[in-house]
Chains A and B, each alone.
Chain A
Amino acid sequence: MIILKSIKMKKILFIVLLIALSTNSAIIGNTAPAGIELAIILNKDNPTEKLNPAEVKDYWLRRGAKKKWKTSSALVMPLDRKAKCPEKELFYSKVLTLGVEDVEAYFAAKQYQSAEAPPEKLATDKDVIDYVSSHPGAIGFVNKSSLVGELGTAVKTVCVIAQ
């Protein structure tokens, strides 16, 4: 009886292991930090007013026709964060639904295949806001709470991602 139970347990463990292996473990998703809101920001001169998360994903990954802004024809310049941070975790899990390694491999392939530059990586929300405010085609993500005072008026928010 105990042996039978043990065999059953092993089967269950094996199935659990298989399921665990078959899921995309590198996606940061489901571990995104609680309590922050993410603002997707564009340059103020970019005529685009609103984007949904799927559009943000396509523009940020520069997929298909989303290499240039439809409304301004400027080149899309995605911005990333250098180090792991709550904003990056939330963006990767909720918007990209991809892991860090997957995204790096994706842009490395694009660069090798067609000389497309990978995203610029910046250290802080302020760096991202400064960069977006001075580059017409830039798209970045910052903590919504960082958009206060002068920083808040330097760029435009086109999408808000909440937990």
Chain B
Amino acid sequence: MITPKKSSQRKLLALAVMILGFLNGFGQANTSIKFYAHPGFDYFNSPDQKTSSPYFRGGPLVLFATSQINDRVSVAGEINLHYNTATGPEIELERMYLKYSWKDALSFSVGRMYSPIGFWNSNYNFGLVLQPNISRPKILNPTHDGGFIQTRDIGLQLEGENLTSARFFYKFLIGNGIGKNGGLSGTPYALGQSLAYTLQLGVEPIEGLRLSVSGVMNKLPKGSATQFDNNPVSEDVTATVIAGSISHMSVEKKFEFIAEYFRNAHDYATIGEKVLNGGIVYAGYKATSKVVPYIFVEFLEFPANDPYYPLINSYTSQNFVSSQEYNLGLRYKASASLVFKIEASSVHQEQYGWSYGTKTQVAFAF
């Protein structure tokens, strides 16, 4: 028997094959197909819960294909193959878009792409060989994994860069929004009734130093489906995200820095505004071209009684709780395609207390 989930996966697989065929069909010498993977091992001790957890992480296998079709048109596709312990093998389409670069001041992208909020979300995600630390910030967990803010969307994006001597840049994305996050497999009757708007404005005054602010506006009428399928919104909600970001990541500079703040608000007609705050700070120093010690700190601050979030997150089987995490890490770049990372980690979760442990990761591309 073919279940709807399996049928959906087969459609995605067929889509993946079509993308590859599509890229191959152009016969471009510069069509590139890369795979990313990042297995690891964690060991955590939770004195408050009196548990200790050794755990191997397999991680996904991510296929990333790009092609420069001509001087103005490029395409990209990213497919995530992973194993879900509850439902078995899964395939997810992370990105698939076509970009038309008209001039510096204006390019168009259409398809499924990362939302332009902050620096981290647009730059790392599944290419963990490129990401400076081990774990994706919790505030940027994808909604299809029980995350909180929409990190990618299907729509049309207008962008411009290198404007004026301050190298001003902007991105404006009109997308389906969180109410339509089902995307390709979404059921039409459950979709939201309005589109979402995301705007990012920023400058890059010197190479590698980027400052930006981003905002998302997404109206969710009563009954709209969200990432938590069994928990449609109980009344009209205006969902907004405001993000501020400062980053200094340059191939030539020894000091690396990323600081980002996210304010994810749900404004209800009757109960008012409920705000989830999240933030990250990363700082690293290239002691050599291969060795980078770093710190990575993040926090999540949940509002009380926001009906948007179900009592238990069905993706993680845990409550939605505020948390803080402190990591002291070391990154070793054996080559551009092979990176080892190790972190000493302290995690505090409301209701669960403190956990202490070690995380390791081998991130590679081939």
Q: Which residues of A contact B (CB under 8 A)?
A: 21-27, 63-65, 67-68, 74-75, 97-99, 101-106, 108-109, 111-118, 120, 137
In whole Å, how far is B62's beta carbon from the nearest beta carbon of chain A? 10
Q: Number of residues in B with C-beta < 8 Å to the partner?
A: 38
B333 contact set on A, CB distance < 8 A: 101, 105
Is B251 in contact with chain A by the CB < 8 A criterion? yes
Contact B104 A65 (CB under 8 A): yes
B64 contact set on A, CB distance < 8 A: 112
Given contacts A98-B252, A109-B130, contact A117 B289 (CB under 8 A): no
Query: Complex formed: what's the CA distance from A7 to B202 in Å?
Result: 53
Q: Quick one: which of B29, B130, B207 contacts A112, CB cutoff 8 A?
A: B130
Residue of A nearest to B70 (CB): A75
Residues 58-77 of chain B: 1 if any A CB is under 8 Å from the residue's CB, otherwise 0?
00000010111001101110
Is B140 in contact with chain A by the CB < 8 A criterion? no
A64 contact set on B, CB distance < 8 A: 162, 167, 204, 207
Most B-side CB within 10 Å, residue of A63, A99, A115: A115
Contact A101 B167 (CB under 8 A): no
Q: Quick one: which of B68, B290, B336 contacts A108, CB cutoff 8 A?
A: B336
In whole Å, how far is A44's beta carbon from the nearest beta carbon of chain B? 18
15 CB contacts below 8 A, A to B, read: A25-B288, A26-B290, A63-B207, A75-B68, A75-B71, A98-B251, A102-B289, A102-B336, A108-B127, A108-B337, A108-B365, A111-B34, A111-B66, A120-B29, A137-B71
Residue of A nearest to B249 (CB): A109
Query: Complex formed: what's the CA distance from A116 to B69 in Å?
Result: 11
B32 contact set on A, CB distance < 8 A: 111, 117-118
Query: Complex formed: what's the CA distance from A54 to B337 in Å?
Result: 27
B29 contact set on A, CB distance < 8 A: 120
Residue of A nearest to B159 (CB): A114
Q: Quick one: which of B34, B68, B123 contacts A109, CB cutoff 8 A?
A: B123
Is B12 in contact with chain A by the CB < 8 A criterion? no
A115 contact set on B, CB distance < 8 A: 66, 68, 74-76, 97, 99
**Which residues of B (116-138) have their CB < 8 Å from a CB of A?**
122-123, 127, 129-130
Query: Complex formed: what's the CA distance from A125 to B129 in Å?
Result: 32
Query: Complex formed: what's the CA distance from A75 to B100 in Å?
Result: 13
Q: Quick one: which of A23, A74, A108, A120 contacts B71, CB cutoff 8 A?
A: A74
Query: Complex formed: what's the CA distance from A108 to B337 in Å?
Result: 9
A116 contact set on B, CB distance < 8 A: 66, 68, 74
Q: Which residues of B contact A (CB under 8 A)?
A: 29-30, 32, 34, 64, 66-68, 71-72, 74-76, 97, 99, 104, 122-123, 127, 129-130, 162, 167, 204, 207, 251-252, 286-291, 333, 335-337, 365
Contact B75 A105 (CB under 8 A): no
Query: Complex formed: what's the CA distance from A106 to B130 in Å?
Result: 9
In whole Å, how far is B149's beta carbon from the nearest beta carbon of chain A? 20
Contact B207 A25 (CB under 8 A): no
Query: Complex formed: what's the CA distance from A25 to B286 in Å?
Result: 11
Contact A101 B336 (CB under 8 A): yes
Contact B251 A108 (CB under 8 A): no
B167 contact set on A, CB distance < 8 A: 64-65
Contact A106 B291 (CB under 8 A): no
Residue of B nearest to A115 (CB): B76
A99 contact set on B, CB distance < 8 A: 289
In whole Å, how far is A94's beta carbon from the nearest beta carbon of chain B? 15
Query: Complex formed: what's the CA distance from A112 to B365 in Å?
Result: 11
Given contacts A21-B291, A24-B289, A64-B167, contact A112 B336 (CB under 8 A): no
Given contacts A26-B290, A115-B74, contact A104 B66 (CB under 8 A): no
Residue of A nearest to B75 (CB): A115
Residue of A nearest to B129 (CB): A108
Residue of A nearest to B77 (CB): A115
Q: Quick one: which of A21, A25, A68, A113 contacts B123, CB cutoff 8 A?
A: A113
B67 contact set on A, CB distance < 8 A: 117
Query: Complex formed: what's the CA distance from A150 to B257 in Å?
Result: 50
Most B-side CB within 10 Å, residue of A97, A109, A118: A109
Contact A105 B251 (CB under 8 A): yes
A108 contact set on B, CB distance < 8 A: 34, 127, 129-130, 336-337, 365
Residue of A nearest to B68 (CB): A117
Residue of A nearest to B163 (CB): A65
Most A-side CB within 10 Å, residue of B72, B286, B289, B335: B289
Contact B251 A23 (CB under 8 A): no
In whole Å, how far is B295's beta carbon from the nearest beta carbon of chain A? 19
Query: Complex formed: what's the CA distance from A163 to B323 in Å?
Result: 56
Query: Complex formed: what's the CA distance from A103 to B74 in Å?
Result: 22
Query: Complex formed: what's the CA distance from A118 to B287 in Å?
Result: 27
Given contacts A63-B207, A118-B32, A120-B30, contact A112 B291 (CB under 8 A): no
Given contacts A65-B104, A108-B129, contact A21 B287 (CB under 8 A): yes
B291 contact set on A, CB distance < 8 A: 21
